[in-house]
Amino acid sequence: MICRSSLLAKSVARSISNNGFRRLASTKSLKETLQEVIPAKQEQLKKLKAEHSQAVVGEVKVENILGGMRGLKAMLWEASVLDPNEGIRFHGMTIPDCQQVLPPAPGGKEMTAESMLWLLLTGKVPTPDQSHQLSAELAEKGELPHFVTQLIDSLPKTLHPMTQLGMGVAALNHDSKFQAAYERGIKKPEYWTYTLEDCLNLIAKLPALAARIYRNVYHPERSLESVDKNLDLVGNYSNMLGFGQNEHLTEYLRLYIALHGDHEGGNASAHTAHLVGSTLSDPYISYSAALFALAGPLHGLANQEVLRWQMAMQKEIGDNITHENIKDYLWKTLRSGQVVPGYGHGVLRNPDPRFVALQEFCKTRPELQASPIIQLVQQTAEIAPDVLKEHGKTKNPYPNVDATSGCVLYHYGLTEFKYYTVIFGVSRALGALTQLVWARALGLPLERPKSYSMDALQKLIKN
């Protein structure tokens, strides 16, 4: 975790306490905590509908319709809000806030996926005991059913890892508790409880599924470790990937997965899960669709593109890494008609706080500070914004999280580029699946926007 002064720590803790995030010595389970939180949120939604349903929160322009609905305020998403200037906040908490108060794994320093999952679901900071109990619950659910291992093992290793992950997740719907309960005829107020059960089962099984795909595609000679009931979710994931002895990588994966867990609901993968879930598809089907959205080069493939670009730069300029050489390579990229990967963002207009957090992680690790590729990332981040400002064709010339995330994985020995998006897929489940629980708890309707043809738009404009 990033070092901070005791004064800052007290300030953050006081701020969090004042906003209702005070850590309480509680033994309540995740489901029991949700049973307390949900009625208040249901009442808040009821009041919004009754008192403010006609309030205007934005306007639709032709550019919104033609530009992929970018920027439209048209979606309810309880876990996080992305501010263009401040970056992401999880239930009002910044990334440094989360690093300060969310419990780490035993013996570790970085917040765990379980503690972030608890926060995203409930809006509350779990105690260490609650976080560790959730780790134990997920470990108990973590083994894959035999039919899924057979399916994954039967796939050609040349099939893209993301395709395999989506297929495996979809196949898990064979055991969906929500689907079985819906067919039985449960009442709407009960939907969220079965959705929660499916979501926790899926999150628990993702490490084993993702690790099996990694083994089959890249290291078929290796044996595959079983789920260790004493490890947290990411500890198990790292162990099953074959990196269990690399505590540096495991800690990095904890930070990476927590930071990538949620980034509001408008991004393609989260929105896809929300859209498919609104049809009352179970969480497995909904999240498999999200994964296929994440697999697109305009969404989840970005960090591997950054790494390829950085390594091409490293190869071209060799050991003579100067600011002038980096600047020349940036201009060469731009003049060839390409974008500089890892810079800019669809919403943010300042440096991505996730990038800042990962850079701070790098600064605390001597082996990363000595890494040529990490040094190149850091120097590029110092030079690229001014070049991009001069170029004048990007609204945000600052680095996003992808500018560094894949490069650290590469340094620690996880060098298979195509697999990086699978790790992203394991991460994004934390936010996308928690919002399926809330969509059912709040009784959100089928998502169905209105569409127009160009002729219809021109008629509207004329009138």
Q: Which residues are catalytic?
A: 299, 345, 402
CA separation for the pair 154, 109 (Å, rounded): 39
CA separation for the pair 146, 153 (Å, rounded): 11
Residue type, 101: V
CA separation for the pair 365, 359 (Å, rounded): 10
Do the Cβ atoms of 273 and 264 come closer than 8 Å?
no
Nearest Cα to 362, choosing from 379, 374, 380, 376?
374
Q: Is 46 exposed, middle or buried (0-12, 13-18, 19+ CB in 10 A)?
A: exposed
- Find how far residue 204's CA is from the centre of its chain: 16
CA separation for the pair 431, 420 (Å, rounded): 18
- Find how far residue 60's CA is from the centre of its chain: 28
- Find how far residue 427's CA is from the centre of its chain: 5
**E-assigned strand segments in 116-198:** none
Show Cβ contacts of residue 302 under 8 Å, excluding neighbours closer than 6 positions: 341, 342, 400, 402
Show Cβ contacts of residue 40 under 8 Å, excluding neighbours closer than 6 positions: none
End-to-end Cα spacing for the chain = 58
CA separation for the pair 91, 30 (Å, rounded): 17
